[in-house]
Structure 1
Amino acid sequence: MVLVELAQAVPFDFVANTAGAVLAEETPTDINTSGVLSFFATKIAPILLAVLGIIFMGRASKGEVSKVLTSSAIAVVGMVFVAGATTLFFFGEYLIKLLFK
């Protein structure tokens, strides 16, 4: 009798334990914005800065120093705008959390 009960219980335990592993996870419904931001900050931005540096060095070697200085100033102003936008993003999040506590 014990063997019959054990034989009936084992398949149900097996199915219950493996059902979670076999079924697919739910697909996310929202976008991981912090992951996207960190990806751009760690992967894309250094590549773009390296490309800008190569362009600036190429122009400087040709004697176009005024164009290099102008382009460098524009690049620095652009980085300041990006840094300011990032700062405002986190500051805005802080204000929202503070107001809607």
Structure 2
Amino acid sequence: MQQYSRPATLADLKALVSSLNRHEAEYLRIGGYALFAHGYHRATTDVDLLVPATRKAGERIKAALMAMISGSPGKPLLPGRAMPASLKNRKKPT
């Protein structure tokens, strides 16, 4: 399965925020795009989010991301469809 990555765009950010809000996910935008929202401009290539460490929050975040990948909420991923490297699972902080 091919994996890919590219810098996040403003359109990516809008799509992500829209999906997170539709799924009533709790999150804080941090990093470069958060600074941009406050009038500071800093080059960035990703979208950084801070989310609560709860099962409910994780399920909502996952549902929002899966909806973005599959193209519609509740629709399963197609076999063999690549997931962007930027959406890979990260280790839980200790």
Structure of greater Rg: 1
More strand by share: 2
TM bracket, shorter-chain basis: under 0.3
More helix by share: 1
TM-score by length of 1: 0.25
